[in-house]
Structure 1
Amino acid sequence: MKLTRAVIILSVASFPLVASGQDSDWEGEAELGVLITTGNSEETNLKGRLALLHETERWRNLLEARSAYTEAEDETTAERYRGQAETNLKFSGHQYLFLRGSYEDDRFSGYDFRSSATTGYGHRVWEMGEKSFLDLSAGVGYRYNRFEEPDEDYGQYEDEVIGRLAGHFDFALSENALFRQKLSTEIGLQDNNTITESETSLQASVVGDLSMKLAYRVTHVSDAPPESEKTDTETSVSVLYGF
């Protein structure tokens, strides 16, 4: 059932990929590293990530999947899976319309799963060269989360209309080094539960298509499930392979 929900949400967000994909020119990166977490799961574990980008004159399509898993003495101590897809329809210079879907299954967050689908307007407000830019976007959508245990206020499910604000900043420090900052917040317009995510990273080329990456990620849930921490952090050191 979880896999089915994930496929439905990501399919809704990425259906224009087939229509816009006039060629097979995709770029991507595969990532493997060590992840240190605090909050609902305090562990050192392995992380994996795959990200794909396809861009044409009119469309920009992004897909990402990530996971983290740790097992100690035959007991699972951390388990997290996440997928997201976004497609952008570009118009009038650097402006675009976006459609986005995300799904996350974090075994120790108090949620059985979290999911959302949003659409709205974005603008590349600054660009310098091929690697430095600032994208800002705003939109509305729908959130559907299932709790591990029934909540006294919401029951088994939390569903509501949400507003989404996001920013993505890339800055090329040199030909071989890149600073990246991503920030997003999804605000519940009925129950006022706000989920904010920030990821700061620095990556540098090592040799050929291999790079090293240092990243710090923070997730804050303003109205977290009972007996769950509101803030989770992840610090990671990983190797990237670009293709």
Structure 2
Amino acid sequence: MKTMLTAIAVLLAAPFAAHAGADFVEGDKTFAGEAELGATLTTGNTDTSSIKGRLNLMQELGNWENQYLFEGLYKEDTGEVTAKRYYAGIQGDYKFDDKNYMFITGNYEVDPFTGYDFKSVVSAGYGHKFIDTGKVLLSAEIGPGYIYKSLDEEQTALRGYDSEDSVVGHGVMNFAYEISESSKFTQMFVADYGESLEGRSETAITANIVGALAMKFAVIVRYNSEPLDDKKSTDTETNMTLLYAF
């Protein structure tokens, strides 16, 4: 656990420490983001509620491009919580040129329905943009990483230990296509392979409504080749949300 905390601390500081001595003018700084929110509520014979929120922030600091991502999902059915997931991630990309970069990334995820209190991954490596025309983007990243998973009380009692960790191979693929001036298709794959294979896929279509406001439809699939006990290998999540870009 100390190793993980140290790694995350280094990760959070790296993009800023590396840039601290750089000379740049105020105009070189850019900052942008997207805020996303979706919710449902039913009352009467059935009482259900759900909320999905996402905040994606992008920042440029000289040769560094930094991303900060926060997600939350909560669902309740007749007073019983049926889904709860929180995610926070940060990534710093150091650009060598327009197509090649070095990345360092880390994330922290809480999902009590998997049998773990939390899961965290840190990794670093090389990234390359195969296509970047403004209308089409295809990029990939690969590098070594480290995953740490903390078991909940029930799983700890069953197994006799409270955590799992391993070195992993980390890979990412991103594809984006601008269908029209007002709509966009994106596809993302993330995989961490060590003692087991854990992956995430997000397929989304975004269509502008007016100005900076858009509607987003997304299907997210999470996969674990070795889930705990009676847990399932695959989780799917389908969302329709409003997205505001700034």
Q: Same fold (TM over 0.5)?
A: yes
Q: How many residue pairs end up in the alignment?
A: 230
- Residue 182 of structure 2 is aligned to residue 176 of structure 1: yes
In 2, Cα distance between equivalents of 1:220 and 1:44: 25
Q: Which has the larger displacement, 154-163 or 94-103? A: 154-163
Q: Secondary structure at the match of 1:13?
A: helix
Instruction: Select 1:234's aligned residue among 216, 234, 237.
Output: 237
In 2, Cα distance between equivalents of 1:225 and 1:26: 41
Residues 76-115 of structure 1 mapped to structure 2, 5 A cutoff: 76-115=81-120
Query: What residue in structure 2 maps to residue 139 of structure 1?
Result: 143
In 1, Cα distance between equivalents of 2:4 and 2:216: 28
Query: What residue in structure 2 maps to residue 63 of structure 1?
Result: 68
The alpha-carbon deviation at position 170 of structure 1 amounts to 1.0
User: Does the 8 Å CA contact 2:101/2:128 hold for their aligned counterparts?
Assistant: yes
Question: What amino acid does structure 1 have at the position aligned with 2:13?
Answer: F
Task: From the two aligned structures, give the one with the greater helix fraction.
Answer: 2
Q: TM-score normalized by structure 1?
A: 0.86
Structure 1 runs not aligned, ≥5 long:
36-42
Quick one: percent identity of the two aligned structures? 34
* 1:201-222: CA deviation from partner (whole Å, max 9, x where unpaired): 0001100110000000000000
Residues 119-138 of structure 1 mapped to structure 2, 5 A cutoff: 119-129=124-134, 131-138=135-142
Query: What residue in structure 1 maps to residue 10 of structure 2?
Result: 12
The alpha-carbon deviation at position 79 of structure 1 amounts to 1.2
In 2, Cα distance between equivalents of 1:55 and 1:27: 9
Alpha-carbon distance change, 94 to 236 in structure 1, aligned in 2, over 3 angstroms: same
In 2, Cα distance between equivalents of 1:7 and 1:155: 19
Q: CA RMSD in A?
A: 2.6
Q: Secondary structure at the match of 2:127?
A: strand
Instruction: Select 2:193's aligned residue among 146, 162, 187.
Output: 187
User: Does the 8 Å CA contact 1:213/1:240 hold for their aligned counterparts?
Assistant: yes
In 1, Cα distance between equivalents of 2:206 and 2:5: 31
The alpha-carbon deviation at position 6 of structure 1 amounts to 9.7
Alpha-carbon distance change, 227 to 127 in structure 1, aligned in 2, over 3 angstroms: same
Q: Which has the larger displacement, 88-97 or 213-222? A: 88-97
In 2, Cα distance between equivalents of 1:6 and 1:160: 11
Determine which structure has greater relative contact order: mean sequence separation of CA pairs < 8 Å that are 6+ residues apart, divided by chain length: 1
Query: What residue in structure 2 maps to residue 221 of structure 1?
Result: 224
* 1:137-171: CA deviation from partner (whole Å, max 9, x where unpaired): 10001110012212867832110100011101111
